[in-house]
Amino acid sequence: MTGKKTYDPYESLHKFSQLWEKQINDFIYLWTNNKEFVKMSNVGTEIHSRYLDQFKKNQEALASVLNLPTKNDVTNVAALTIQTEEKIEALEEQIWDLQDSVKSQSKDIESVVEVSKEIIKLTKQLKTELVKTKKELSDSKDLHAELQEMKFELLKLNDFKEEFETLKGLIEKDKSSERELASAGATK
């Protein structure tokens, strides 16, 4: 390796081309940047347009005689297609609205179904509780009957107590008369 710089002819070409391009463009700028050029361009454009206009008109006239469709006819047909596209688009947007309303309605229905499910669940729960309560009620009735029985038994016991008390009184009475007799016997 000598480290010597190699020659690249295209770099210089590019630099020169940049200079040339700038000079030519600056020249064109100076040459065209005036009122006269603008007016001349306008005249040229106008002549060109008039010529083309006339040419097209002749072409239309000829095509009309030969019963041939021209680009204008095709344009009209294309316009109809675009109109149809726009109508379909409008319909599609209306379908969107419908879809949206159906969606929101189905959401409402879903929420109603949810509420109904809750109600059914609650009713079932109440039903079970009712059965339970009924059972409890019959149980309590049995209890009541038993209690009544017990009360009756207690009443019976009370009567027995009273009888017992009477018996106790009679025994006491017998005991005192016996004591009296005994004491009378002793005094004799």
Partner 1 sequence: MATESPLKNAIPDLNYEKEMERWSQVFKLLSEPEPKIGLTPRNEVWRKNKSVLWHYPAKEKKYEVPLFLVYSLFNKPYILDIAPKASVIEGLTNMGYEVYLLDWGTPGYEDKKIGLDTYIDKYLRTAVKRAIRHSDAEEITLVGYCLGGTIASLYAAVADEPIKNLVVATVPIDFGPFVGPDKWAEGMRNGDMNIDHFIDVYGNMPPQLVEGMFRAIGAPIYFTNYTMLLSRAHDKRYVEKWRRMNKWTVDQVPFAGEAYRQLANDFFKENKLVKGEFMIGNKKADLKNIKANLFVVSGSRDHLILEDQSKPIMDLVSSEDKTYIVVESGHVGMALSGMFAGIVDKWASSRSNPI
Residues within window 1-30 making contact with partner 1, judged by CB under 8 A = 4-8, 10-11, 13-14, 17-18, 21, 24-25, 28-29
Distance CA 126, CA 116 (A): 15
List the one residue from 33, 184, 185, 187 that touches partner 1 (CB under 8 A): 33
Asked whether the beta carbons of 59 and 70 are under 8 A apart, the reply is yes
Query: Got the DSSP string for 96-163?
Result: HHHHHHHHHHHHHHHHHHHHHHHHHHHHHHHHHHHHHHHHHHHHHHHHHHHHHHHHHHHHHHHHHHHH
Closest approach, Cβ 41 to partner 1, in A, equals 7
What would the two tokens of residue 57 be? 């008109």
Residues that bind partner 1 (rule: CB under 8 A) add up to a total of 44
Rg, Å, the chain Cα set? 63
The residue assigned the tokens 């006339």 is: 54
Residues within window 43-62 making contact with partner 1, judged by CB under 8 A = 45-46, 48-50, 52-53, 56
Distance CA 166, CA 159 (A): 10
Q: Which among 75-83, 112-120, 142-150, 159-167 is the span making contact with partner 1, rule CB under 8 A?
A: 75-83
Please tell me whether residue 93 binds partner 1 under the rule CB under 8 A.
yes
Closest approach, Cβ 61 to partner 1, in A, equals 16
Of 72, 79, 44, the C-alpha closest to 56 is 72
**AA identity, residue 18:** Q
Distance CA 71, CA 60 (A): 9
Residue number, 19 or 143, with CB nearest to partner 1 = 19
Please tell me whether residue 68 binds partner 1 under the rule CB under 8 A.
no
Q: In the 8-state DSSP scheme, what is residue 5?
A: P
Closest approach, Cβ 76 to partner 1, in A, equals 8
List the one residue from 61, 64, 69, 71 that touches partner 1 (CB under 8 A): 71
Residues that bind partner 1 (CB under 8 A): 4-8, 10-11, 13-14, 17-18, 21, 24-25, 28-29, 32-35, 37-39, 41-42, 45-46, 48-50, 52-53, 56, 71, 74-75, 78-79, 82, 85-86, 89, 93, 96
